[in-house]
Structure 1
């Protein structure tokens, strides 16, 4: 199966603040907010939702097709993708733009403050869903690109995951309703779920009744997979260290895609996704963890006391 991963490819500048944001922000002064955080740790990483999901799915032995628009500065990222044998057939260079850039500051509570320059990502709508796709995702991307690609998946009868992430504020309640009604699956974290419900006026049951599964992650508390008939409770896989939460959601989604591609039930797919998140959080950045499929299966068996086919 070939999974088309529609979303951003970006350069991430990741900074770690060795304190707590909540101690530096005065609640009664947020209307005149002016804060500065000293960040002794700084890294430049390859990232973006499409790139991250594709990298993780490739580790599991999948065949991801990341699709996105990038800028004139993409050469180093292209070389990285080639090194890891990730398909670049659907990566389009916009010569007059820069590749999307994310500036992420994380505190000791794993809270994050992000500034994002979309750059070439705003041209995502210049590409169309290609033939030969059996599964897709709509992850944060240019607004028009997300709308058009969801429509194209739906019209072609291609099942897809709606994964709005940090792109959710771009859409009204009516637009979000249309995404959900077109999608086969919806994947959000608990904060994004509250935003989705608030904007649409729907309940969790309303969303779950319209898709095959609503997947909601709850950080260290695991995740819930809501289907029209049952809720699956997925435990959080134990991480050897809590180094960097950036990209954990993308790693989790790669695990979901792998399970869907192999026809696994939600109990198994959810646990594969959970373990993917654990691998990600143990290393700084979003594409620096490594494992073989055999190593992954061995750790999965130790963690969950059973193997997967």
Structure 2
């Protein structure tokens, strides 16, 4: 039994500008802004929430099922996933579209200018959550707006418990829609900013949401995370990275750790610790799908960080 992960598949084109945007943007002239930045560093990475979560869950020895809509340019990404042995049956190619793409330019102060093209992601609703399939749990991660709404309802109708993980898609929904997601979900995972945004729209704090679901997880970056069960918060300490290289994708790695722990039936203290270690390993590497480890190495690092074996 495994997890069906609905969400985006994307290419991330990342460029580094070896200067500061502030040196080239005149604040009093932004109404006629016309700038060009020479970027000497460029890399193209495989990304998207469904792809990243599936990648990390595969590292943990599970068999994830990513479900997403992709474009005609998906070939290299498809080959990458196939080499990893990740099941591709729920990826739907949309004719005449590009796979979702993010173009990110970062300056030396880690400021970012990003252009995002959703492409095939806009057709996420054309994929349907399968019924009568051996799926233990589901994930509704950032995707096309209509797709996220449909997939939550479909998981519920199929009797499949699921994680609601709105991520950067949170602003797309109003208060009533967010409450509906919460009513349907079994677990909710957000970062601290998203938690505040949801509370502003719904008047539901993480404590109050935890009365409606089995657990609410609120990540806090380098400060660790909180797990709320029946309004009671459990503090999860962060694992220690060997170095900090790139935080992009840490949230998706953390979520894979949560899914792994739920599939294994662990308690929330252990689930949170596994998830924290996944985030720490990811931050040590550039890109969202370039880190590697064996389960033996992972278990040793877990012992080193938390002092017990899972």
Is the structural similarity TM-score above 0.5?
Answer: yes
Which moved further from structure 2: 52-61 or 170-179? 170-179
Describe the shift of the 1:237–1:37 C-alpha distance in structure 2 as closer, same or farther (beyond 3 A): farther
Counterparts of 2:263 and 2:215, CA distance in 1: 15
d(CA) in 1 for partners of 2:210, 2:56: 26
Q: Deviations 1:248-284 (Å, cap 9, x if unpaired)?
A: 1000000000000000011000011001011111111
Structure 2 length-normalised TM: 0.92
Unmatched runs of 5 consecutive residues or more in structure 1? none
Root mean square deviation, CA, Å: 2.1
Given that 1:110 and 1:245 are in contact with CA atoms closer than 8 Å, whether structure 2 keeps it comes out as: no
CA contact (8 A) 1:186 1:215 kept: yes
Q: Is the 8 A contact 1:8 1:69 kept in 2?
A: yes
CA distance in 2, matches of 1:48, 1:283: 17
Show the counterpart of 1:54.
54
Structure 1 residues 196 and 89: CA distance shift in structure 2, 3 A: same
CA contact (8 A) 1:14 1:285 kept: no
Other-structure match for 2:265: 263
Residues 259 and 268 in structure 1, CA contact (< 8 A), matched pair in contact too = yes
For each residue in 1:72-129, what CA deviation from the matched residue of structure 2 results, as whole angstroms up to 9, or x when unmatched? 0011001000100000010111121111101234456666543211101111111111
Aligned residue pairs, count: 307
Q: Work out whether residues 207 and 232 of structure 2, in 8 Å CA contact, stay in contact via their aligned partners in 1.
A: no
**How far apart in 2 are the matches of 1:21 and 1:210?**
45
198-207 or 267-276, which deviates more: 198-207
Deviating runs (4+, > 6 A) in structure 1? 19-26, 28-31
Between the aligned partners of 1:136 and 1:3, the Cα distance in structure 2 is 5
Of 94-103 and 39-48, deviating more is: 39-48
Q: 1:21 to 1:304 in 2, by over 3 A?
A: farther
Which residue number corresponds to residue 253 of structure 1? 255
Q: Which residue of 2 aligns with 1:199?
A: 201
Which string of whole-angstrom CA distances, capped at 9 and with x for unpartnered residues, describes residues 273-297 of structure 1?
0010111111110000000111100
C-alpha distance in 1 between matches for 2:104 and 2:231: 39
**Cα shift at 1:169:** 1.4
Distance (Å, rounded) in 2 between the aligned partners of 1:7 and 1:290: 23
Deviations 1:186-238 (A, max 9, x none): 11111111111111122222212111111111111111111115211111111
Whether 1:9 aligns to 2:9 is: yes
Structure 1 residue 22: Cα displacement: 8.2
Relative to structure 1, the CA distance from residue 187 to residue 22 in structure 2 (aligned partners, 3 Å threshold; closer, same or farther) is farther
| Residue in 2 that maps onto 1:188 | 190
Residue 103 of structure 1: aligned partner: 103
The answer to which of 219-228 and 124-133 deviates more is: 124-133
